[in-house]
């Protein structure tokens, strides 16, 4: 019997070596575990990695507010300032609240860890599922918005926005696989450059508008303008607030990755949280005020930031610098998700709610499996929604606000139980945070439910079932393989019967025979007799090359080689219930991968059939071809 590997297996190892060389070139050489402490992040690099998501949202948050308000006419955009101020209050509350979480839970984990220790398993899994969905959406939305900024400056790329977005995500995956510190250094410069460019836009734009003393002329034919205007109702204002809440997404990422900071971790993480919030609040309010004062309204083919930059700097080098830097910042916003998702997945894996391999470091001391999985689902989402930012936004923010509310509620319960120094002040802070984010969650859920938010709720429920299923499986496995059962003793030695299935005599079979004779136990060769004349030849050859091993010829009236072999093995297992059966399979390994299709795959089916049989051990003995 011949046996071959799967079609993509390589016999010489040359392909494996080439793959490893390519991997080293793309990802870098492996890092020792002892080097982990040197991979910790300084505050300046951590700001670029963890804060890019929150800060980048200023590029589309104001636009999302205006897209809702414009439904009631151009006069309704005056409400953009009160709505922006309400969101600014949310930023303040969340900043203070998450600083308390950072100090109280320095091991990281954010909303999941807080909810698990204070509210129980189910709320913790709700927070985890909501955050994981939000991280995937963060990558898709950020990249889609970045591509939108690029196509605003270069309209000819609009039809290729999906391809550009996929390339951007793959690049992010690759850079994050190279390690936290290396990716942080790479992304820090463009991130700070983008923050500087947006800051320049806000400062110059506000200065010009104040010096002019009058509003600039608004653009004509704004997107969203309609002959059938809606009434300016409280519900419409709440819808605009819900849309603008995308500005605070990403504020929890720092609390998830506290352990990535240099010592003292909590202090450095809390300081970075302040820096991030100040930058976010300044840019967001600056852009909202500029849009209102200038009379800028959203367009279908040009972003709000692009319009503001065009009015402020005209269409010149500075305008394109702002657009490119905005695009870069939006794309790099996905980097914060690549920092948060793998850390959260690793914590879930350690608790048994995710596959255990999610908790292990890759070659570069990052959670490689989490990075790859995040990249895959983000690419899938981008393709499904065709790279459309406005189609993705309704799904956005709901998940992160659910986690906000659960984390704040968990901290309220913690202070009531733990008390401690200044616990009343901390209780008030988290209490206000819980109420505020809870109200925001209800608003977002109710206003966005029919626009796609229901998908998020459905996916969270599916993820919770998946988490619980994984946990149940691991618990069942632990119970079945545990050694502390009562009355159990080490097993007594068993007899071993070694079987070599053959379909003829050749060097591969002789090699398998040579190995089988080195194994303890009785060795038997099994030959399925399909042709009496051929069987007689095999028996003559076996007498010379069989090494004294008994050859058993099994008849097969229906020409079923596999069926006859399995039947013989079943007979042994039934007659000798305390015996091991070792099946030694001669395996021919071709020199080229495509040559596998030219060989009999019967041995592969035999291995697949025997894999699930108790007391059956399968051993491959390879014979390497050279051409």
Q: What is the DSSP letter of 261?
A: B
Q: How many residues does this entry show for the chain?
A: 627
Radius of gyration of the chain (CA): 32
pLDDT of 277: 93
CA distance 230 to 224: 11
CA distance 150 to 427: 45
CA distance 253 to 344: 10
Question: Among 419, 444, 475, which residue terminates a domain?
Answer: 475
209 belongs to a structural domain:
yes
CA distance 78 to 293: 9
448 and 503 share one domain: no
pLDDT of 351: 92
Domain that holds residue 201: 40-475
CA distance 337 to 194: 18
467 and 525 share one domain: no
CA distance 367 to 176: 9
218 and 158 share one domain: yes
pTM as predicted: 0.75
Residue among 333, 307, 325 at smallest CA distance from 246: 333
CA distance 588 to 582: 19
CA distance 464 to 372: 21
Look up residue 142 and give its two tokens: 């950020």
393 and 276 share one domain: yes
503 and 466 share one domain: no
95 and 190 share one domain: yes
258 and 373 share one domain: yes
Query: Which H or E run includes 617?
Result: strand 616-624
Supply angle C-alpha 248, 250, 251, rounded to 5.
Answer: 70
C-alpha dist (Å) from residue 514 to 12, 309, 507, 582:
22, 78, 10, 15
CA distance 512 to 510: 5
376 belongs to a structural domain:
yes
C-alpha dist (Å) from residue 229 to 59, 69, 303:
26, 10, 22
CA distance 87 to 242: 9
CA distance 55 to 89: 16
**530 neighbors 556 (Cβ within 8 angstroms):** yes
**436 neighbors 90 (Cβ within 8 angstroms):** yes
Q: CA 120, 121, 124, 126 torsion: positive or negative?
A: negative
Question: Among 475, 503, 521, which residue terminates a domain?
Answer: 475
68 and 144 share one domain: yes
Residue among 417, 415, 410 at smallest CA distance from 427: 415
Look up residue 424 and give its two tokens: 């009343």
Q: What are phi and psi of 619, to 5 degrees?
A: -130, 125
Three-state secondary structure call for residue 214: coil
504 and 439 share one domain: no
453 belongs to a structural domain:
yes
CATH (domain of 341): 1.20.1740.10
Three-state secondary structure call for residue 585: strand
CATH (domain of 509): 3.40.50.620
Look up residue 7 and give its two tokens: 């079609």
352 and 380 share one domain: yes
19 belongs to a structural domain:
no
489 belongs to a structural domain:
no
Q: What is the DSSP string of 101-138?
A: HHHH-TT--HHHHHHHHHT-HHHHHHHHHHHHHHHHHH
306 and 419 share one domain: yes
CA 376 from chain centre, in angstroms, equals 7
275 and 312 share one domain: yes
Q: How many domains does the chain have?
A: 2
Question: Among 429, 445, 475, which residue terminates a domain?
Answer: 475
Terminal CA-CA length for the chain: 20
Which residue has 């014979």 as its token pair?
A: 623
Q: What are phi and psi of 377, to 5 degrees?
A: -70, -30
CA distance 564 to 26: 50
21 belongs to a structural domain:
no
31 belongs to a structural domain:
no
315 belongs to a structural domain:
yes
> Mean pLDDT by 10-residue block, N- to C-terminus, for the chain (627 residues)?
40 55 70 63 85 83 88 81 91 89 83 90 93 87 78 79 88 84 80 91 89 53 50 80 81 82 89 93 93 84 86 87 84 80 90 90 80 91 77 73 90 89 87 87 81 84 95 88 73 87 89 90 89 86 89 81 88 90 89 71 82 89 85
Beta bridge partners of 524: 499, 550
């Amino acid at each position: 019997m011949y046996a071959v590997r799967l079609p993509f297996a390589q016999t010489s190892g040359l392909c494996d070596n080439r793959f490893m060389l390519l991997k080293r070139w793309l990802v870098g050489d492996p890092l020792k575990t002892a080097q982990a402490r040197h991979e910790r992040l300084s505050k300046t690099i951590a700001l670029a990695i963890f804060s890019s998501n929150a800060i980048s949202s200023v590029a589309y948050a104001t636009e999302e507010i205006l897209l809702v308000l414009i439904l009631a006419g151009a006069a309704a955009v005056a409400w953009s300032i009160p709505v922006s101020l309400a969101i600014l209050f949310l930023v303040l509350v969340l900043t203070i609240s998450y600083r308390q979480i950072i100090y109280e839970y320095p091991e990281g984990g954010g909303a999941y860890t807080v909810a698990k220790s204070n509210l129980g398993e189910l709320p913790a899994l709700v927070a985890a599922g909501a955050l994981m969905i939000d991280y995937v959406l963060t990558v898709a939305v950020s990249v889609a918005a970045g591509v939108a900024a690029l196509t605003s400056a270069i309209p000819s790329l609009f039809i290729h926005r999906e391809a550009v977005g996929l390339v951007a995500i793959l690049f992010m995956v690759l850079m994050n696989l190279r390690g936290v510190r290396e990716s942080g250094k790479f992304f820090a410069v463009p991130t700070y450059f983008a923050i500087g460019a947006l800051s320049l836009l806000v400062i110059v734009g506000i200065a010009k508008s104040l010096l002019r003393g009058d509003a600039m002329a608004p653009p004509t034919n704004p997107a969203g303008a309609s002959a059938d205007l809606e009434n300016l109702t409280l519900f419409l204002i709440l819808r605009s607030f819900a849309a603008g809440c995308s500005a605070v997404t990403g504020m929890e990422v720092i609390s998830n990755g506290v352990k990535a900071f240099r010592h003292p971790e909590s202090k450095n993480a809390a300081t970075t949280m302040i820096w991030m919030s100040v930058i976010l609040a300044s840019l967001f309010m600056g852009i909202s005020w500029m849009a209102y004062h200038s009379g800028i309204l959203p367009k279908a083919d040009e972003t709000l930031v692009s319009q503001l930059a065009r009015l402020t700097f005209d269409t010149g080098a500075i305008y394109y610098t702002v657009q490119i830097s905005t695009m870069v910042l939006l794309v790099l916003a996905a980097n914060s998700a690549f920092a948060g998702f793998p850390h959260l997945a690793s914590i879930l894996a350690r608790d048994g709610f995710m596959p255990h391999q999610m908790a292990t470091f890759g070659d570069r001391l990052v959670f490689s499996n989490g990075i790859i999985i995040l990249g895959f689902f983000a690419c899938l989402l981008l393709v499904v929604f065709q790279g459309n930012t406005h189609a993705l936004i309704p799904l956005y923010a709901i998940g992160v606000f659910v986690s906000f509310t659960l984390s704040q509620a968990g901290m309220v319960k913690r202070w009531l139980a733990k008390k401690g120094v200044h616990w009343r002040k901390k209780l008030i802070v988290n209490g206000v945070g819980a109420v505020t984010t809870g109200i925001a969650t209800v608003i977002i859920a109710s206003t966005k439910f029919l626009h796609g938010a229901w998908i998020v709720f459905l996916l969270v429920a599916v993820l919770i079932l998946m988490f619980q299923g994984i946990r149940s499986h691991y618990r069942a496995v632990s119970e079945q393989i545990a050694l502390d059962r009562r009355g159990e003793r080490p097993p007594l030695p068993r007899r071993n019967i070694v079987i070599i299935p053959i379909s003829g005599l050749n060097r591969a079979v002789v090699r398998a025979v040579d190995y089988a004779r080195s194994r303890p136990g009785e060795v038997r060769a099994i030959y399925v007799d399909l042709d009496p004349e051929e069987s007689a030849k095999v028996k003559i050859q076996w007498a010379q090359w069989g090494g004294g091993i008994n050859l058993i010829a099994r008849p097969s009236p229906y020409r079923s080689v596999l069926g006859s072999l399995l039947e013989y093995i079943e007979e042994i297992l039934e007659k000798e219930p305390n015996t091991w059966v070792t099946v030694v399979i001669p395996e021919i390994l071709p020199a080229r991968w495509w040559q596998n299709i030219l060989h009999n795959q019967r041995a592969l089916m035999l291995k697949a059939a025997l894999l699930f049989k108790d007391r059956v051990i399968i051993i491959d003995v390879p014979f390497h071809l050279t051409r």
